[in-house]
Amino acid sequence: MDWLDPLDTAMMAAEVLSGPLNIGAMLVLTPPPDAGEDYVDDLHRDAVSGQTPVQPRLRRYPHRGVQTGGAWVWREAATIELARHCRRIRLSLGSSDGDLWRLIGRLHAEPIDRSRPMWMSYLIDGFGDGRFAFYVKAHHTIFDGVAGFQMIADALSSDPDRRSMPHFYAAQHADPSARTTRPTVRLPNPLAAVRSMAGAAASSLALAQRVAVGEISDLVAMTTGDTTVAPWAAPVTRFNGRLGPERSVAAGSWPKARIRAVQDKAGVTGNDVVTAVVAAVLRHWMRDHGELPDRSLVAICPITVRSRSHASTEQHNNMFGAWLCPLGTNLDDPVERLDLIHRSMSVGKARVAERGSAASLVLLAAAIGPTVLQPMLPFFPRIRTGYNLPISHVPGPSGQMYWNGAPVQEIYPVSAVYDGQALNVTTCSYADRIGFGYVAGSTVLPDIDTLVPLTEQALAELEAALGLLD
């Protein structure tokens, strides 16, 4: 039997308490100049025609029963009813982008039928200006956000004249799990980090040595500086409670040039700037709601490094660690906040590179475990937690892309949330813009759409503080 690995099994069990563990991506497109009135309908008809073989990873689904002794195993569907997986939605006349994102939130919260391959796609139009959206979601056991995002990117083309392109689910596309060369991307959430840790911990003695040394050096750093965060130093916020059954999603994009100008003026990285913008957004939102804690919020930030032990092995081009980064939400000065994030992430990158990805993740177990377990314990004192949210940065295609001639205007990951981590922020670079995607439990952040104008406010504050505005 093809058994699910322990993390996938745990995710299937966790859904009983915390709801669907879905991940996704959303593309906003414009029909090509030669498109007819039925362009989106034609795309959907082609998608469900059944003329394209489905890749193996999207044919399988988890199953358990008497024959498996109650354990989860993978089964492969003999046939795929594409009409059940590829849906067509028309929003009502006069719908806005906000209506689109509310729809995405509802779709993201819906569980996927476990009796068939656990993925869905939606072609959506009617939200203004003739644009349409393509939203894909899958259960986290099918693939992580990195593999899924890359699979969708592989279905795009830089050629605006190309038509009759293979669908994202097509077997012509390489299976993301079998890639020999992976793009330099960052893990979108701690679940994938746990998977990476389990796969990388092959040398237990060397790992134990690196963990022991890391614990000592981190303890010293915690007591002598402000860049290293203790495993239980984050304040408990509404983002660290129960998720609830519904989701809310909001997103917006900004020119890369604005991020790069701040980056160059401050002498930091682009990811530092983006993290600082998110930190300011959270500070403003919590202050406006009378919930800003005295202690700084803490983000768990994935870090990509080349593993020393696999430096010459192509299939291990990138290994992943993670770091607890103080967001400086207790600081008034946006430049001071950016400097703290830059210094902390610089230390984090050096530590992960020095220790290896597996050791860095083992060191975070004391923060990751309690964060997702505390909300399930009714009598546990809610004073501190391991971290408040993940902030991830995913690089998308660097140039303009097209899908059957339709220009892709925006790309947004729609990441996973769960109890204890009820807010997830993932940014994505695409062409000349940076997209900010916010996903949360709808009862946790009922006004999530306010984070989009707060993002503009936070970026403008940094620009003004650095003298970049006229």
pLDDT tens digits, one per residue of 118-130:
999 999 999 978 9
Is residue 440 within 8 A of residue 248, CB to CB? The reply is yes
More confident residue, 65 or 184: 65
Q: How far apart are CA 304 and CA 434, in angstroms?
A: 19
Q: How far apart are CA 428 and CA 410, in angstroms?
A: 9
Fold classified for 6-178: Chloramphenicol Acetyltransferase (3.30.559)
Q: Which residue has the tokens 């992960």?
A: 352
Tokens representing 468 are 């970049």
The answer to whether residue 218 scores a pLDDT higher than 60 is no
Is residue 179 within 8 A of residue 144, CB to CB? The reply is no
Mean pLDDT of 269-296: 97
The domains spanning 6-178 and 190-398+415-465 adopt the same CATH topology: yes
The answer to whether residue 244 scores a pLDDT higher than 60 is yes
Polymer length in residues for the chain: 470
Is residue 282 within 8 A of residue 334, CB to CB? The reply is no
Q: Which range, of 53-57, 191-195, 270-274, averages the lowest pLDDT?
A: 191-195
Mean pLDDT of 250-255: 96
Q: How many alpha carbons lie under 13 Å from residue 446 in its C-beta half-sphere?
A: 2
The answer to whether residue 189 scores a pLDDT higher than 90 is no
Domain at 190-398+415-465, CATH homologous superfamily = Nonribosomal peptide synthetase, condensation domain (3.30.559.30)
Give residue limits of the domains in the chain: 6-178, 190-398+415-465
Q: How much is the pLDDT for 172?
A: 66
Given phi > 0 = left and psi -120 to 50 = alpha, else beta, which region is 134?
A: beta
- Choose among 169, 2, 130: nearest CA to 71: 2
At 196-210, the pLDDT tens digits run 545 544 444 443 443
Given phi > 0 = left and psi -120 to 50 = alpha, else beta, which region is 70?
A: left
The answer to whether residue 192 scores a pLDDT higher than 80 is no
Residue % of the chain over a pLDDT of 70: 79
At 41-97, the pLDDT tens digits run 999 999 999 888 999 989 999 999 888 888 899 999 999 999 999 999 999 988 999
Mean pLDDT of 381-404: 88
Q: List phi, psi (to 5°) of 74.
A: -90, 135
At 398-429, the pLDDT tens digits run 999 999 999 999 999 898 898 889 999 999 99
Q: How much is the pLDDT for 251?
A: 96
